């Protein structure tokens, strides 16, 4: 399954990250994930029946890995729902370290970097020439007590119960959402 996750890319989605004042966090993703090799094969003709059968079985494996919903739609696409949480100091990469929609990376100084997936500038985009239509939203919300140090959000949303919410509209694989925050230190 590990290599499978390395080749999943976002297509149409809503992703949310919430950073808590104690440095813990939760996140969710609802939308489409593409198994890139199948999409490339489909753009060159048809995905063979054997690969389609394997991809259908992979939906079961996604559910075993913690996805609340994972349905295979065909042509390398999955409709998925995932909700997870992480503790203070724990890194997370969704869906994988290699092909991430977002990551949450605690730093040694207590800050947390929330970032996107800007690929290596020299690597060609594997989705070029396919019918992939990337259109997603990433929203990061912060509890009171989490200070924003830097960000490149496209807009700040107003919220009632949280300190702040920031949004990015992602339309290409080279989108690079970035936020650096520092939660208050946990009681020791």
To 10 degrees, what angle do helices 49-64 and 36-43 make? 160
Mean predicted confidence (pLDDT) in 7-21? 92
The three-state (H, E, C) secondary structure of 66-101, written as one string: CCCEEEEEECCEEEEEEEEEECCCCCEEEECCCCEE
* Residue % of the chain over a pLDDT of 90: 53
pLDDT tens track for 100-124: 778 999 999 999 999 875 554 444 4
In a domain, 23, yes or no: yes
The rounded distance, in Å, linking the Cα atoms of 50 and 181 is: 46
- On whether residue 188 sits in a domain, the answer given is no
pLDDT at 131: 77
Does a structural domain hold residue 109? yes
Q: How many domains does the chain fold into?
A: 1
pTM above 0.95, yes or no: no
Q: Which domain holds residue 137?
A: 2-183
């Amino acid at each position: 399954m590990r290599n499978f996750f390395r080749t999943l890319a976002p297509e149409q989605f809503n992703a949310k990250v919430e950073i808590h004042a104690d440095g813990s966090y939760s996140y969710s993703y609802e939308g489409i994930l593409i198994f890139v090799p199948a999409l490339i094969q489909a753009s060159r003709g048809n995905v063979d029946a054997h690969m389609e059968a394997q991809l259908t079985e992979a939906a079961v494996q996604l559910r075993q890995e913690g996805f609340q919903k994972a349905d295979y739609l065909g042509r390398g696409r999955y409709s998925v729902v995932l909700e997870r949480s992480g503790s203070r100091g724990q890194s997370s990469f969704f869906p994988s370290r290699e092909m991430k929609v977002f990551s949450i990376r605690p730093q040694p100084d207590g800050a947390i970097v929330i970032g996107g997936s800007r690929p290596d500038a020299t690597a060609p985009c594997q989705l070029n020439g396919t019918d992939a239509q990337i259109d997603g939203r990433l929203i990061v919300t912060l509890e009171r007590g989490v200070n924003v140090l830097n960000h490149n959000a496209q807009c700040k949303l107003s919220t009632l119960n949280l300190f702040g919410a920031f949004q990015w509209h992602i339309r290409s694989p080279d989108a690079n959402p970035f936020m650096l925050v520092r939660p208050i230190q946990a009681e020791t």
